[in-house]
Structure 1
Amino acid sequence: MFTRLAMTAVLLAATPALAQEPARESSAFTLRSDQPRAPEQEAVTFDLADLAIRVLPETKSIDAVATLTFTATAPVERLVVELDGRFTISGVQVDGAEVPPDAWANPDGRLSVEIGRTLVPGQSAVLRVAYSGLPRVAPQAPWDGGFVWSTAPSGEPWIATAVQGEGCDLFWPCIDSALAEVKRVDLHITVPSALSAPSNGRFLGIVDHGDGWTTWNWSARDINPYAIALNIGPYAKVEATYSSRFGNAFPMEYWHLKSDDPAKVAALFAQFAPMLDFFEATVGPYPFADEKMGVVETPHLGMEHQTINAYGNGYRIDLRGYDWLLQHELAHEWFGNQMTNANADDFWLHEGLGTYMQPLYAGWLNGDRYMQVELGKLHADLANRYPVVSGQPRSAGSYLDDAGPGNDIYFKGALTAHTLRMLIGDEAFFRSITTLVYGRPDPAPGNFTTVRRSTQDFIDIVEAETGRELDWLFRGYLMNAALPVLNQSREGDRLALSWTTGDGAPFPMPIEVSVDGVVTTLPMTDGRGEIAVRPHAHVLIDPDNKVLRRLDLIETYRNRSN
């Protein structure tokens, strides 16, 4: 393997004459991820991405060779991948044979290569692309992504990638879709020898070329293309072995800047094991125990890069009792990496369910009061401008558009999950979550693989688990912008309640009513209910805050804050 890697380094250093002039800016197509795949992309599986990338900090450029293996599932005559037009492509090969310049093109960042034959189902082809140039600089990582070229406090280069919204094609040729998860990626990251390059998956060793450059080698399986990440800097590593409640053990690693306060590093690392235990107890076994649980300090806030989550929260301490960013990104190993949304319109399955793990963890650590505090903050921060689930295919990042739900995919998604849990009970709720994430209710190390899910999949799982029709709940919360309104009217000694949703559809959400401390549950079967109330009785609707609904006090707060 090392002989081949050394040869790759030579090839990177001796790039042939340029075959194509790069575009000055990334195209609008490139800056959208999860767009519809080309027919040729739907006709193949993505078996292997072997990426040899030299990162040159002085010029803020990369020089790379990508060797990609695909297997046809239907007849196909060309291979199609995405690669930012900013890069100069210096050579293209298929199965080791050079492809002439008139047989490939990269308009707007979608590279199409003629194979020269028809692949039939079951046949494989290897596409090799040599490219170089200045990758897009992230305007505001991780929300507006690309490369982050920074400097560590000790003066060395500190570099990271964060490309969730814009996609993997910002620095390597890929099928830029969550539906094109790579079965395996082998990474060979060549950097100045004074720097380290922690990345995804298992560490396969380093090659010091003796010329001031070193190649770091990693291999990861079943990985979403945007989760592949470069991290380069003056790192030190702390590590330990985690003993799982499922009987297996695996490494925990934190790659931090050498200049960091050792006490802060130790305090953060001490949070790894309790967080893992919470997720394993709540959802199921850590999905990538055959590789590692890894975290790397980055010059941007954070991102769920599988087995090497980006952490840039600066060791900040707040009243949660845990580092919220560390916990949130770790949640994505389950909600995002193990279970991946079928389309960006289902992105709340990543972010909403991942966000709900935070108040649950607060309660796990410190009791119900701390869970309720976090839930209340989520409610206060809702925007309720656009539905969380539109029912139409969306591109990644579109949730941040002017017509997108924005942070509601996090906050309303989490609050919807909480209301669902309060309605169906802990046993049914957590079995549904486990089944959603693993494809089975009884996951154990070695008996599951990654899955892809839609909102409808989750509805189907919950309904099968409970034996109840619950489509109305998801429609009322996620497919409407406005929160359900609980109308109240009082005549004599009768309090009448009724639900109104954004689309006027039925909403039979039961509601608890406390009258002078005595709690009664109104079934609200047809969206209506009544209860007797004595004069001057103290009435409290939903005293334990189980149900997400429009609250006047929050609307008043939000209106005065805006």
Structure 2
Amino acid sequence: MRISALLFLLILVIAPIQAQVLSNKITFTEADTLRGSLRPERNYDVQKYHLNVRVEPDERFISGYNTISFKADEDLPVMQVDLFQNMKVDSILYKGEKMKFNRRYDAVFVDLQPKVTKNSIDSIQFFYSGNPKVAKNAPWDGGFVFDKDKEGNHFIAVAVQGTGASLWYPNKDHQSDEPEEVLIQVAVPHELMNVSNGRFVGKEVLEDGYTRWDWKVESPINNYNVVVNIANYVHFEDRFRDLDLDYYVLPYHLEKAKKQFEEVKFMMNCFYEKFGAYPFEEDGFKLVETPYLGMEHQSAVAYGNDYKMGYLGKDLSGTGIGLKWDFIIIHETGHEWFGNSITAADIADMWIHEGFTSYSEAVYIECRWGKEEALEYLQGTRRGIGNQKPVIGHYGVNSEGSGDMYAKGANLLNTIRSIYDNDELWWKTLKNYTETYRHKIITTQETEAFFNKAIAYDLQPVFDQYLRNKSIPELQFRKKGKKTEFRWKADVENFDMPVDVILKGKEVRLHPSDQWQKLEVKVSSPEEIEVMEKEFYINRKNL
């Protein structure tokens, strides 16, 4: 959120959940390029992280190290590792020796002596410490949340999508590279528990009043998904088929959680059918209560929706349908397939995370309450779409596109489903997509090609209009003599997209182009033509 991510969620304007900062920049700095581009110093493939940290709640201080195991894609004399400049680099060890380094903005450049040669597998151990950035309003800005529960216990979590995982630990902070596995060891005061991603593999009581909690992730994972969740948690568990369901909540919310989280099994049943099996079965599935609204942290989904239906008790679509289900459970878990399993190589393509995940909300509605309610919900979410800038952002500079990626992305997918005009083929293609690109890092072009290949119709003009231009196509009608004419007005040259209408009580498929065409059925005025606007996200205008 991405929430998913996540991803801002504005109740007043009814916009979907948006995680972290969405860039409104037109010009970009060296810092943006260092973060967003794949420079020669990033010519390595991360294999593993071993993250060992100590969190001191009262001081809001963390310290520890990350052992970064990697394979060099080219000879690597200098290695870029990312860590926010407010955090201190204590030392960097390579082959047991301290390495020299220099810093530019949030990038640390390590002089590897001797250099790592192409195709070699090696590691560095990066020691660091400091007071990490504190979020002012998580999850919409990145950082740590240092809070207290109502019993006075520390309640701590982190959310960094978009802002960057290097906010709190050193890593290669680019979405195009994911470690294949991560060992996360977090020491916290005895009275607290830490819950991180993956499976719990043990704990060790330390002699200084701290306990270290160990978690292991055995699947590829986005850097921003690696988290700590620290509280006086209680744990309960359940199962769905062969999938372990683990829940960590505050003690006084236990009974509410047991009731609310029953929805997980309804959701999993739907998502397994439509998207395929849960993509991280080896790491299990967790919901973890957090002091902020929510986030799609892989195998440890952050939950802070106050055990209410909808989004904190409100319906983002304005239809009432959104109050039938818990928005955070559904949306953030949808990201396990879209964003966590299938990951965009550059955050400019974050619609791959957020558009598909927002569509998963409608998929869940359709599974439980039928297609008509799903279409009504999707149409309702359009009121949060601004159409002020393109959905796709700027590549290579850590720049997301428009926040429209959520509802507009979902309505684009629903429009493509309607163009398919074959639900059996649509569901087959969507499931094939999630299974083909399971645990893969991909681009918008690969996504477009996949959905284009399934049908004879060329979808490229449709993708170009909805993703690379700010406006949606306008279907125009006019009366000319005794005939009614129609055409598309769009930004894409020679724009072509079929659309369904109701004429004389019958559903008819029109094939407008950017040139005026005559309507074969005689109508007295364009107002008689009913466009199926729930199925197609377009503007309609009678001239």
Residues 155 and 232 in structure 2, CA contact (< 8 A), matched pair in contact too: yes
Residues 341 and 347 in structure 1, CA contact (< 8 A), matched pair in contact too: yes
Query: What's the Cα RMSD here?
Result: 2.1
Distance 2:371 2:68 in 1: 50
CA distance 1:47–1:93, change in 2 (3 Å): same
Partner SS, residue 532 of structure 1: coil
Could you tell me which of 399, 406, 409 is aligned with 2:405?
409
Aligned residue in 2 for 1:511: 499
Larger radius of gyration: 1
Residues 507 and 526 in structure 1, CA contact (< 8 A), matched pair in contact too: yes
Residues 55 and 62 in structure 1, CA contact (< 8 A), matched pair in contact too: yes
| Equivalent AA in structure 1 for residue 85 of structure 2 | G
Bigger relative contact order, structure 1 or 2 (CA pairs below 8 A, ≥6 apart): 2
Aligned residue in 1 for 2:155: 158
Q: CA deviation at 1:340?
A: 0.2
Could you tell me which of 516, 531, 541 is aligned with 1:542?
531
Distance 1:523 1:286 in 2: 39
Could you tell me which of 310, 314, 324 is aligned with 2:327?
324
Determine if the alignment matches structure 1 residue 177 to structure 2 residue 136: no
Residues 55 and 187 in structure 2, CA contact (< 8 A), matched pair in contact too: yes
Partner SS, residue 520 of structure 2: strand
CA distance 1:301–1:436, change in 2 (3 Å): same
Q: What are the residue-to-residue correspondences of 1:364-383 with 2, within 5 Å?
A: 364-383=367-386
| TM value normalised by structure 1 | 0.85
CA deviation map 1:442-471 (0-9, x unaligned): xxxxxxx51111111111112222133210
Distance 1:41 1:31 in 2: 15
Aligned residue in 2 for 1:18: none
Aligned residue in 2 for 1:53: 53
Could you tell me which of 348, 351, 371 is aligned with 2:351?
348
Residues 419 and 546 in structure 1, CA contact (< 8 A), matched pair in contact too: yes
CA deviation map 1:21-51 (0-9, x unaligned): xxxxxxx877899611331212x11111111
Partner SS, residue 128 of structure 1: strand
Determine if the alignment matches structure 1 residue 458 to structure 2 residue 447: yes
Could you tell me which of 212, 233, 236 is aligned with 2:234?
236
| Equivalent AA in structure 2 for residue 46 of structure 1 | V
Q: What are the residue-to-residue correspondences of 1:122-201 with 2, within 5 Å?
A: 122-201=119-198
Aligned residue in 2 for 1:308: 300
Structure 1 stretch 512-521 or stretch 267-276: which is displaced more?
512-521
Residues 75 and 116 in structure 2, CA contact (< 8 A), matched pair in contact too: yes
Q: CA deviation at 1:509?
A: 1.6
Structure 2 unmatched ranges of 5 or more = 1-28, 311-319
Residues 32 and 397 in structure 2, CA contact (< 8 A), matched pair in contact too: no
Distance 2:34 2:214 in 1: 27
Q: CA deviation at 1:394?
A: 5.2
Partner SS, residue 281 of structure 2: coil
CA deviation map 1:381-418 (0-9, x unaligned): 2100001125x40555x43xxxx512x00011000000
Structure 1 unmatched ranges of 5 or more = 1-27, 244-248, 441-448, 554-562
Partner SS, residue 179 of structure 1: coil
Structure 1 stretch 288-297 or stretch 528-537: which is displaced more?
528-537
Aligned residue in 2 for 1:384: 387
Residues 250 and 291 in structure 1, CA contact (< 8 A), matched pair in contact too: no
Structure 1 stretch 73-82 or stretch 226-235: which is displaced more?
73-82
Partner SS, residue 539 of structure 2: coil
| Equivalent AA in structure 2 for residue 89 of structure 1 | V
| Equivalent AA in structure 1 for residue 413 of structure 2 | A
Aligned residue in 2 for 1:253: 246
Aligned residue in 2 for 1:37: 38
Distance 1:33 1:339 in 2: 24
Residues 489 and 514 in structure 2, CA contact (< 8 A), matched pair in contact too: no
Aligned residue in 2 for 1:97: 97
Q: CA deviation at 1:492?
A: 4.7
CA deviation map 1:223-251 (0-9, x unaligned): 111110111011111211210xxxxx121
Q: What are the residue-to-residue correspondences of 1:258-297 with 2, within 5 Å?
A: 258-260=251-253, 262=255, 264-297=256-289
Determine if the alignment matches structure 1 residue 482 to structure 2 residue 482: no
CA distance 1:30–1:170, change in 2 (3 Å): farther
Q: CA deviation at 1:473?
A: 0.9
CA distance 1:433–1:535, change in 2 (3 Å): closer
| Equivalent AA in structure 1 for residue 189 of structure 2 | P
CA distance 1:195–1:551, change in 2 (3 Å): farther
Residues 476 and 540 in structure 2, CA contact (< 8 A), matched pair in contact too: no
Q: CA deviation at 1:434?
A: 2.8
Q: CA deviation at 1:78?
A: 2.4
| Equivalent AA in structure 2 for residue 127 of structure 1 | I
CA deviation map 1:475-521 (0-9, x unaligned): 12111111111111013542211101134x22222222323312222
Q: CA deviation at 1:165?
A: 1.2
CA distance 1:306–1:229, change in 2 (3 Å): same
Partner SS, residue 222 of structure 1: coil
Residues 286 and 300 in structure 2, CA contact (< 8 A), matched pair in contact too: yes
CA distance 1:409–1:537, change in 2 (3 Å): closer
Structure 1 stretch 467-476 or stretch 339-348: which is displaced more?
467-476
Q: CA deviation at 1:374?
A: 1.2
| Equivalent AA in structure 2 for residue 40 of structure 1 | E
Determine what percentage of the aligned residue pairs are the same residue: 28
Partner SS, residue 279 of structure 1: helix
Distance 1:211 1:307 in 2: 30
| Equivalent AA in structure 2 for residue 88 of structure 1 | K
Aligned residue in 1 for 2:416: 420
Residues 485 and 499 in structure 1, CA contact (< 8 A), matched pair in contact too: yes
CA distance 1:33–1:92, change in 2 (3 Å): closer
| Equivalent AA in structure 2 for residue 332 of structure 1 | H
Distance 1:484 1:355 in 2: 21
CA distance 1:30–1:437, change in 2 (3 Å): farther
Could you tell me which of 494, 509, 516 is aligned with 1:521?
509
Distance 1:90 1:180 in 2: 25
Residues 32 and 167 in structure 1, CA contact (< 8 A), matched pair in contact too: no
Residues 332 and 350 in structure 1, CA contact (< 8 A), matched pair in contact too: yes
CA deviation map 1:209-235 (0-9, x unaligned): 244211110111211111101110111
Structure 1 stretch 110-119 or stretch 528-537: which is displaced more?
528-537
CA distance 1:30–1:137, change in 2 (3 Å): farther
| Equivalent AA in structure 1 for residue 290 of structure 2 | T
Return structure 1 stretches of 4+ with deviation > 6 angstroms: 28-33
Aligned residue in 2 for 1:439: 436
Residues 238 and 246 in structure 2, CA contact (< 8 A), matched pair in contact too: yes
| TM value normalised by structure 2 | 0.88
CA distance 1:285–1:120, change in 2 (3 Å): same
Q: CA deviation at 1:370?
A: 2.1
Residues 479 and 525 in structure 2, CA contact (< 8 A), matched pair in contact too: no
Distance 1:282 1:52 in 2: 38
CA distance 1:314–1:379, change in 2 (3 Å): same
CA deviation map 1:407-441 (0-9, x unaligned): x000110000000001113233333333333326x
Aligned residue in 1 for 2:88: 88
Distance 2:102 2:297 in 1: 30
